Structure 1
Amino acid sequence: MTTARIDARFAALKAEGRAAFIPYVMGGDPTPEGALEILRGLPAAGADIIELGFPFSDPMAEGPPIQKAAIRGLKAGFGLRSTMDLAREFRKSDDATPIILMGYLNPIESLGYDAFAAYAADCGVDGLIVVDCPPEEAAPLVAALDKAAISLIRLATPTSDDDRLKIVVQGTSGFVYYVAVAGVTGVKEAEAEVVAPAVERVRKASGLPVAVGFGIKTPERAAAIARVADAVVVGSALVDEVAFALEANEPVASRVLAKVKLLGDAVRSVRTSASVAETV
């Protein structure tokens, strides 16, 4: 079961007493070869779990950095299937690091839920985040993912009250992704003191680890969130490094992976018995 990689990774981190670091990268960005080089380098640079975006023409939840990354990925000829193929290539050298596919529903619907889930599992994908699929409409997708043993990872937000949380966590496995700030990615900053009580509330409702993303760009911010969450997700700050490297005509992978190491080291530096899947 591919889902088992996620559970195993969080169990190991709980034993270490620390949060997970989850970097986000975009499939095909900046090139197919460059994207694979980045992906393969992530675990050694400090990634505990990898969030792999598939390019889409209308990424409604994303701010300018990830929108631009999606455009670069599309120009490289990437979409949903080619991003899953990228995961398959990664699996040839790494069978332990969980991969979470992140994107939007339209390409999945176009492929067909059952066909998508079977192909994703065959490529070694462990989980899926679909930004624009509300729980009320997710039953067919959940059924397809369950057959393929892939976790559906849902989003909880600052506006999710207790009644909404009960709905959000139904059918969720692996972990819950808490969106720390309202709005799109890469704009506002997450505040640990604001996030902490929300993380506890989501943990209690779900019985699962809680990853916090949106608004985390610096090692200092990542470390602060790692003290109160089970995982820290960083995306915009990393795809920005792709853009900076291209602009400066620098090697892209080395620049991105250097940033990953800084952020990963910051998360790993935090040891706390109060975090890392102290779930019910």
Structure 2
Amino acid sequence: MSGRESQVAAAIREAKEQRNGALIGYLPIGFPDLGTSIDAAIAMARSGADVLELGVPYSDPVMDGLVIQDATRTALERGFRLRDVFEAVRRVREAVDTPVLVMTYWNPVVQYGVDRFAADLAAAGGAGLITPDITPDSAAEWIEVSERHGLDRVFLAAPTSTDERLGLVARSTTGFVYTVSTMGITGERASLDAAARGLTERLRAQGAELACVGIGISNAAHVATALEYADGAIVGTAFVRALRDGGVAGLATVVEEIARGTGRAPDPER
């Protein structure tokens, strides 16, 4: 991002200086309803998340697990509209300083208008987009628009990517590279960690400054292991499940527990 430190990168660097690394927390906007999802995001930030990842519910969430699919389906059934994204980001940012990234499939952005979406997100105080289904070589418009509006663009890297593609991802991404593993299932921790560790090393060799890993991380021990090689750990399903089962208060408790994996001390007021 030309001439400007990414607020997401700054938050991750601060977490690395103060602790072992960053915790990035995901929740879908509009689940179980818009107001509660906003309260939940604020609670997540106050309970230990260094960066917030707010998901846009989508009718064909091919890259999401069942818990998140169910939550986004509920949000859509209860009337989620794309304009709710900007209200949610604005209200969260009015309450906390934590950077807010929006995770979205690309079609809703195109339907809304790429420049219009970027302008409205920036006006709401959003930090940028995580775009799981577009690659840098097909994202020329988004790269130009994000630069113009001062937004981060977080692309994904997978173990199947060639070194050449990883280099393109590293050069095109701002904030952090979202490092994923496509090997095995969530329960196979050893193989998943090995794949993510190897991918992170390959990304660093290609010039990636910050890499955060999301591979079914669901507790403090997983976070601690991920931060042995990555700059941040991304948690989604565990937080969505906590909100579903225990409401905002239950979510806050789980976030605080998992945040201990970053080396964060428990809040004595909780």
Q: Same fold (TM over 0.5)?
A: yes
- Which 4+ stretches in 1 moved above 4 angstroms? 186-190
Question: Aligned residue for 1:76?
Answer: 78
Q: How does 1:118-129 map to 2 (within 5 A)?
A: 118-129=119-130
SS of the equivalent of 1:253 reads: helix
Q: How does 1:125-144 map to 2 (within 5 A)?
A: 125-144=126-145
**Deviation per CA, 1:113-162, whole angstroms, max 9, x where unpaired?**
11010001011111211111122210011111111100111100111121
Question: Aligned residue for 1:32?
Answer: 34
Give the Å deviation of 1:188.
5.7
Question: Aligned residue for 1:253?
Answer: 248
Question: Aligned residue for 2:158?
Answer: 157
Question: Aligned residue for 2:106?
Answer: 105
Give the Å deviation of 1:109.
0.2
1:15 to 14, 17, 35: 17
CA contact (8 A) 1:101 1:125 kept: yes
Give the Å deviation of 1:244.
2.6
* RMSD (Å), alpha carbons: 2.1
Further displaced range: 226-235 or 202-211: 202-211
Structure 1: segments with no counterpart, 5+ residues: 246-251, 271-280
Q: 1:107 to 1:127 in 2, by over 3 A?
A: same
Give the Å deviation of 1:187.
7.0
Aligned pair 1:268/2:263, yes or no? yes
SS of the equivalent of 1:35 reads: helix
Question: Aligned residue for 2:197?
Answer: 196
Structure 2: segments with no counterpart, 5+ residues: 266-270
Give the Å deviation of 1:183.
7.6
Question: Aligned residue for 1:85?
Answer: 87
**Deviation per CA, 1:42-96, whole angstroms, max 9, x where unpaired?**
12210001111011111111111111111121123224321221010111122x3
**Deviation per CA, 1:194-250, whole angstroms, max 9, x where unpaired?**
4223212212313321000022112221221122210000101111223334xxxxx
Question: Aligned residue for 2:268?
Answer: none
CA contact (8 A) 2:25 2:236 kept: yes
> Identity of counterpart residues, as a percentage?
31
TM-score in terms of structure 1 length:
0.87
Question: Aligned residue for 1:212?
Answer: 213
SS of the equivalent of 1:233 reads: strand
CA–CA distance in structure 2, aligned partners of residues 40 and 125 of structure 1: 14
Q: 1:243 to 1:13 in 2, by over 3 A?
A: closer
CA contact (8 A) 1:37 1:253 kept: yes
CA contact (8 A) 1:54 1:79 kept: no
The alignment of Structure 1 onto Structure 2 pairs a total of residues equal to: 262
CA contact (8 A) 1:80 1:108 kept: no
